[in-house]
Amino acid sequence: EYGREVTLLDGDVVRTRLSPGLGFSKEDRDANIRRLGYVAAEIVRHRGAIICAAVSPYRTTRNECRSLVGEQLFVEVFVDTPLEVCEARDTKGMYRLARAGKIKNFTGIDDPYEPPLAPEIVVDGAARLAEENADRIIGYLLKQRFILPAFNLTGKATTDPDHSHRERK
């Protein structure tokens, strides 16, 4: 739709298929994210586009993935969402289990999340609709020429790549 074939790597699916023996210790989370980074780098190396949708709590590991993919081709999107909002949206009850001590090393509860220092894109996961955030991301990708103009998710023509882009802080 935007001139590119895109592969979506969902962190939960990849964990089940490529990393079934891994738990949620820091080492295991890092291993899972490194595997995502390797697959992403291979897809990019063959001129594909990829979206990795995963909780990647540690800066160092995210930066390793950036190096694998390539600095100019890696776009980090930080979905800035307060912990309370994440908990309120938790349909699987994972936060409740973590707070009860039934899940250990849970990001935001008893394991840290290290926010990125300089992501290419920051979207507000609490105050904006998912569609608005998607439009912001698409605006950035258009401006940087990762994708070609088409129509955004709300059906409006996307001819101005700045209409929804928030500059890097």
Q: Which residues are catalytic?
A: 56
CA distance 47 to 77: 20
**Which are the contacts of 104, defined by CB distance < 8 A and separation ≥ 6?**
24, 98, 110
Q: Cα–Cα distance between 160 and 165 in angstroms, integer?
A: 10
Are residues 156 and 115 in contact, defined by beta-carbon separation less than 8 angstroms? no
Q: How far is CA 72 from CA 37, 61, 67, 106, in A?
A: 15, 17, 10, 32
- With contact defined as beta carbons under 8 Å apart, do 61 and 33 qualify? yes
Owner of token pair 């220092």: 117
End-to-end CA distance of the chain: 30
